[in-house]
Structure 1
C-alpha cells in the first residue's frame, strides 16, 4: 500500500513539474532522527528513525507559507519494562509476561504520517515552522504497553530551516505519541521526545 502511494505521489510530482513553467510547489527530502521516552520508572524506550518527506506548498501569503506533507518512516526502537508490577496479577499468565517483557526488545515500526505545516520566513534564507502530523503504523513486537500490529503515531514539532539555492537544511525537535486507539488488548502506548535533521530539495 505504501509503495503504491509513493508511486502515485511521484507521478503527481512529474505532472506538476511538466505543467509549471515557474517555481514548483513540491519538495522532496530525507530526515534522520532519534529520541527516548520522557523520564519515568515504568519502562525504557529509545528510537532512531528515517523519513522520506514529500512537501506540497498549498498557499503563500506575505508573512506565512502553508504546506502539507507525506512522511513514510521506518523506526528502529529498543524497549524494556523496568517496573514489572506494571503487569498486574489479574493478567493471564502474568508471571510469564513479566519475565518476557522485562527482557530488552528490538522493535520495528512502519509509519505513514500525513502532516500540516505553517512556516514563517525570517529574511530571505531562514524560516521557523510548526508541524502537526498523524498516521497509521504497523509495529512488529508486542510489549506490556502496546499490542503488536496496527497503531497510530501522532507528532507535534517545531523547526528551523535554512535555504541555499533549491536546498533546505532542517533541524526539528518534536514530541511523539504512539498508541492503537483501543484496537488492541494493550494500549498504554509510548511518549517520546525526539530531535531530527533533514535536507530537502525543491523539485
Structure 2
C-alpha cells in the first residue's frame, strides 16, 4: 500500500512539474512542532520535531488550491512503558524486557513525509487547509510498541495560513500515527496529537 502511494505521488509530481509553469509555484520553509500521546494507561510519549518543507502548487481554481509537499523531518521523543503487563509472559526474556522498557527512553525518528494539501483561501491573506501525509521513517530505539529500524509516519492535519507578500505563516494541529506495517516484531506504534508552526517563502 505504501509503495503504491509513493509511486502515485512521484508520478503526479513529475507530471505537474513538466506540464505547468513553475514560476511562483514553489515555496520552501521550516516548521517546528511538539506533542504527546493521547491519554493512555500503557505508556507515555512526548515529542518535538523539526521539518524542512518544499511545497508545490499543483492547481489553482477560483475557490480552491491543490498542493503537494515534501517534508524531511527529525523527531525527538521520550517514551516510557507504564503498564509492564503489556509485555506478555510468552515474550522471550519477558522479565528483562519489562525491566528495560519501563525505563524512560529517548527516541529519535528520521522521516521523509510526502503530503497532499487541499486549501480554501478566505481572502488575500488568510486561508485554511487539510493536509494528509505518509512517509518512510527510521526509528533508532526499540520499545515494547515498535521495533528499531524501518517504519512509517502517517499525519492528518488542519491548518491556518497567513500570507504577506512572499511569506506565509502556518499554524497546524495534527494527529500522527507511527507503525512499521508489520515489518518488525513489535508494531503497536504510537499515536500522538501535535501542533506545529511554520514559515514558508514563495520562490
Inter-partner Cα distance in structure 2 for 1:145 and 1:23 = 45
Inter-partner Cα distance in structure 2 for 1:104 and 1:191 = 18
Inter-partner Cα distance in structure 2 for 1:88 and 1:48 = 30
Inter-partner Cα distance in structure 2 for 1:155 and 1:66 = 17
**Paired position in structure 2 for 1:127:** 127
Inter-partner Cα distance in structure 2 for 1:23 and 1:40 = 47
**Paired position in structure 2 for 1:62:** 62
Counterparts of residues 123-162 of structure 1 (less than 5 Å): 123-162=123-162
Q: Which consecutive segments of 4 or more residues in structure 1 shift more than 4 A?
A: none
**Paired position in structure 2 for 1:89:** 89
**Paired position in structure 1 for 2:8:** none
Task: Give 3-state SS (helix, strand or coil) of 1:173's partner.
Answer: strand
Give the alignment's TM-score, normalised by structure 1.
0.89
Report the alpha carbon displacement of residue 23 of structure 1 after superposing the two structures with TM: 4.3
Inter-partner Cα distance in structure 1 for 2:53 and 2:129 = 15
**Paired position in structure 2 for 1:185:** 185
CA offset digits 1:147-175 (Å, max 9, x no partner): 00000000000000001110000000000
Inter-partner Cα distance in structure 2 for 1:169 and 1:99 = 45
Task: Give 3-state SS (helix, strand or coil) of 1:154's partner.
Answer: strand
**Paired position in structure 1 for 2:98:** 98
Counterparts of residues 9-48 of structure 1 (less than 5 Å): 23-48=23-48
Paired residue total: 186
**Paired position in structure 2 for 1:10:** none
Inter-partner Cα distance in structure 2 for 1:136 and 1:173 = 21
Inter-partner Cα distance in structure 2 for 1:26 and 1:198 = 16
Give the alignment's TM-score, normalised by structure 2.
0.89
Task: Give 3-state SS (helix, strand or coil) of 1:33's partner.
Answer: strand
Inter-partner Cα distance in structure 2 for 1:58 and 1:94 = 51
CA RMSD of aligned residues (A): 1.5
Inter-partner Cα distance in structure 1 for 2:43 and 2:28 = 36
Report the alpha carbon displacement of residue 24 of structure 1 after superposing the two structures with TM: 1.4
**Paired position in structure 2 for 1:77:** 77
CA offset digits 1:107-161 (Å, max 9, x no partner): 1000001000000001110100000000000000000000000000000000000
